[in-house]
Amino acid sequence: MIRLVFLLCFLTVLSSSFAQSVVIAEDLREEQERAFGMNRKHYTHTWVGLHFLVGPPETEGAEVLYGRSRALEFGYRYKRRFSDVFSAGSELSVRRSAFHIRQHSGKEVPDTIIHDKEKLVFLQAGAAIYQRVNFGQRGDYIGRFVDIGAYGAWNFHVRQVTHDLLDNGERLRSRRTRMDYPAAFEYGFMARLGFNNFVLKGNYRISDLFSGSADLPELPRWSAGLEFGMHPY
């Protein structure tokens, strides 16, 4: 019993003797990674983008509602610096593109049926390569730049969504998937004008949005919008 009391006393003293917490710990021997940075050899960052369809459709019957036809994009970008002026890189992204089809008597995409509202939604996983030209002197900083590149994307999910007001006053919302007319892949050129985090972007889609067998007129090929690079400054 006496031993137990002594042991408890000892443990109590021991615990109070070493009550402490490390609030600052710095090891200066840890080498800082100098090859990674906004204006260093390698850099990666994420970005978000919002693009709007612009320009006319290729043929009549494929008119869209501009402003509402837009794409939201989230991506991860790699940049390899070759000099203060030239860099190149690649990126991976996921994108949701919504094409709001204008409803009128001459409409042909994706069919001739008139609805109150209709949109085609493409969910895409994409990749791109680009060449960057920077302007002006800068430190470890993205700076001002122009990018020219090419992109490709896989349409892993496409749906057609329609809204109709029925005669009995009810609203009908239909959603169709696994259609046979969307093309499996999309590719095109892109160009960007960047000011640090803020980027103006334009895309030109070379590929057709619909498969050849569907024989549908093409929706507008140009899109333009803004990207926000998620890097610290």
Partner 1 sequence: MRYCLPLAAFLVLLTVNPVATVSTLPGKDYSATASQASFWVFFTDKEGVAFDPYDYFDEKAIQRRKAHGICLYDPLNFPVKEEYIHQIEKLTDKPLVVSRWFNAVHLTLCRFEAIALEELDFVREVRPASMRLVPAAAGFPFVGFSAVGKEHEKLFRTQKTHMYTGYFRERGLDGSGIRIAVFDAGFRGVKTHAAFRHLYENDQIIATWDFHRQRENVYVSSAHGTMVLSAIAGILDEGPVGMATGAEFLLARTEIFREPLAEEQYWLAAVEWADRMGADIINSSLGYIFHRYFPEEMDGRTSLVARAATIAAQKGILVVNAAGNMGNNDQWRIIVTPADADSVLTVGALEFPSMLRASYSSVGPTADGRRKPNVSALGTVIAANRRRLTTVSGTSFASPQVTAFAACLWQNFPTMSNMDLFRAIERSASLHPYYDYAHGHGVPRASYFFDDRIAVARPTFDLSFKNDSVRIRLREFIQLNPDTEDQNKAGNEYLYYQLRNETGSIEKYFVLDLQDANKLIINVEGFKPGKELLVHFRGYTSGIRL
Residues that bind partner 1 (CB under 8 A): 16-29, 32, 34-41, 82-88, 131, 133, 135-141, 148-150, 189, 204, 206, 232-233
Closest distance of CB 149 from partner 1, Å = 7
Read off the DSSP letter of residue 37. Answer: S
Q: Which of residues 110 and 188 has its CB atom nearest to partner 1 in the complex?
A: 188
Closest distance of CB 139 from partner 1, Å = 4
Closest distance of CB 8 from partner 1, Å = 17
Closest distance of CB 158 from partner 1, Å = 24
Closest distance of CB 169 from partner 1, Å = 50
> Going by C-beta distance under 8 Å and a sequence separation of 6 or more, which residues neighbour residue 48?
72, 73, 74, 75, 227, 228, 230
Three-state SS at 65: coil
Determine if the peptide bond prior to 110 is cis (ω within 30°). Answer: yes
Q: Which of residues 2 and 25 has its CB atom nearest to partner 1 in the complex?
A: 25
The owner of tokens 């443990």 is 11
- Of the candidates 164, 92, 153, 155, which has an alpha carbon nearest to the alpha carbon of residue 121? 155
Q: Which of residues 103 and 131 has its CB atom nearest to partner 1 in the complex?
A: 131
Contact yes or no for 45/74 (Cβ under 8 A): no
What separation, in Å, do the N-terminal and C-terminal C-alpha atoms of the chain show?
66
Residue 204: Cβ within 10 Å count: 15
Q: Which of residues 69 and 87 has its CB atom nearest to partner 1 in the complex?
A: 87
Closest distance of CB 183 from partner 1, Å = 17
Phi, then psi, of 21 in degrees rounded to 5: -140, 145
Query: Which CA distances in Å does 110 have to 70, 118, 179, 181, 183?
Result: 18, 10, 10, 8, 13
Q: Which of residues 16 and 105 has its CB atom nearest to partner 1 in the complex?
A: 16
Q: Which of residues 29 and 171 has its CB atom nearest to partner 1 in the complex?
A: 29
Rounded to whole angstroms, how far apart are CA atoms 114 and 74? 33
